Structure 1
């Protein structure tokens, strides 16, 4: 076996047709990452759920900076309890055949690039399962600029990590012990985090509400649909406060009169300005078909 093998990564992510890193990991654009930082968990979750990706969310974490949203490209690792023969074989292979330095967790962090996030299955180990401490978190900060880590296991040096402002760490628990009695059996391979699945190159959206892993080939679709949901909510809040529509009308499938009201607002209101890169042709076509099938329910109050 090889760690961080380009052929394996490309084989695992065939639906991604865009740019890749030298190791084969999908490289979703910085523009998509920046737009994703402005949405919510629910807005990101909906498009994935509707596409059949129902195991992409996990919410049971502690968070170093609970008020911060973290978005980046996943670099994954899978750890298992130490079995001496397997442990020595893989550790020696990494050192001798791949010229890697230090312990398994250092190999992963040494590979990070800007906007990367470490995603680690530490099989929920906390005692001697502390994947990062102050030193490695500082290295993550230096390499990723605004990344961090999602660890299904432990961390140490919480007070030191909390002083690093430009990254975030999601973890299961903390302990003063160092990492021990664990072996990495995969780097940039499919990874289970609680009830969610993460692949290398997935976009990790981590917020106080939990973590979502977005497949790279669905990242643009997700952010577009999330932004559309977001701006429609902004419009809906405005009209509800004005008493123009009922909640049932806002929540139901929109027909043409309501759509026309929305589009007039969308073209002219300052609150809609950040969303004007969006187009609505598909929604209008669907609304037109709905209109042909029955009378409009979008009656003003």
Structure 2
């Protein structure tokens, strides 16, 4: 089982210059995560695209809750089982203190802390690719208060959906247990859909989609996203009031009188 050292993780995510977890993952501040939850996937994509990261959004999910998921990625990768590799991973797990015969997917769950999001690359496998059910889901919810993104299956959907303190994104459900796969790595780069995800990425789940945000861009996304959101609110309000037409508002750049009106509107809101 591959697992990067702290030094390797720091090198891998060197664009981030802020606080880090003991394992080396970037630790984006809680305030930034909380503000991000009020934005949309479009707000995030706009900034990501401007900075050369246009492929960080993955759609086509199901989720257990109709609310955002925000947290920091703990990545894991599973491969189709190969006996010699599986034996080596089991031995590595015992060396790390995991009980002989324990399920490898539980090792990842046991590593999670508050604010983490479990991100599992299981190559889209649903039947026998059910990384979590309601028991492990309960452990994820208690440990993270956030949830998981499973590029594969889940089981016990009724129980998972009852865990209102966490949100789980998944491809489909199946009654089979996870089997015939091997945990190949933890906190390594993984592929989710057509997106590369690094440990410590900010996971931003919205209705139907998940955006994986490089940590060093999270604050800029929040700052610009809040501005875009406010301008959208202003535009809709002024159109509804009949003050401006859609043709005056829906242009690449507003003329100065509208910009001046927006600044006054923003100031009034900030003092309320």
TM-score by length of 2: 0.95
How far, CA to CA, are the matches of 2:235 and 2:130 in structure 1? Answer: 46
Secondary structure of 2:232's match?
helix
2:173 maps to what in 1? 174
User: Structure with the greater relative contact order (CA < 8 A, sep ≥ 6): 1 or 2?
Assistant: 2
How far, CA to CA, are the matches of 1:14 and 1:3 in structure 2? Answer: 17
- Per the TM alignment, residue 45 of structure 1 is displaced from its structure 2 partner at its CA by 1.3
2:97 maps to what in 1? 99
The equivalences for 1:14-29 within 5 A come to 14-29=14-29
Alignment: residue pair count: 269
How far, CA to CA, are the matches of 1:2 and 1:41 in structure 2? Answer: 32
The equivalences for 1:52-63 within 5 A come to 52-63=52-63
2:109 maps to what in 1? 109
Contact 1:19 1:26 in 2 (8 A): yes
Give RMSD over aligned pairs.
1.4
Q: Does 1:205 align with 2:198?
A: no
Secondary structure of 1:172's match?
strand
- Per the TM alignment, residue 273 of structure 1 is displaced from its structure 2 partner at its CA by 5.7
Contact 1:41 1:209 in 2 (8 A): no
Secondary structure of 1:123's match?
coil
- Per the TM alignment, residue 50 of structure 1 is displaced from its structure 2 partner at its CA by 1.4
How far, CA to CA, are the matches of 2:53 and 2:2 in structure 1? Answer: 28
How far, CA to CA, are the matches of 1:250 and 1:201 in structure 2? Answer: 38
2:122 maps to what in 1? 122
- Per the TM alignment, residue 2 of structure 1 is displaced from its structure 2 partner at its CA by 4.4
How far, CA to CA, are the matches of 2:257 and 2:206 in structure 1? Answer: 36
Contact 1:69 1:208 in 2 (8 A): yes
Structure with the greater alpha carbon radius of gyration: 1
How far, CA to CA, are the matches of 2:234 and 2:15 in structure 1? Answer: 35
Q: Does 1:68 align with 2:67?
A: yes
Contact 2:61 2:208 in 1 (8 A): no
TM-score by length of 1: 0.86
Please, which runs of 5 or more residues in structure 1 have no aligned partner? Answer: 275-301
Secondary structure of 1:124's match?
coil
How far, CA to CA, are the matches of 2:186 and 2:57 in structure 1? Answer: 21
2:261 maps to what in 1? 261
How far, CA to CA, are the matches of 2:31 and 2:244 in structure 1? Answer: 35
- Per the TM alignment, residue 4 of structure 1 is displaced from its structure 2 partner at its CA by 4.7
Please, which runs of 5 or more residues in structure 2 have no aligned partner? Answer: none
1:189 maps to what in 2? 188
2:244 maps to what in 1? 245
Question: C-alpha deviations, 1:268-294, integer Å up to 9, x for none?
Answer: 13xx569xxxxxxxxxxxxxxxxxxxx
How far, CA to CA, are the matches of 2:47 and 2:213 in structure 1? Answer: 10
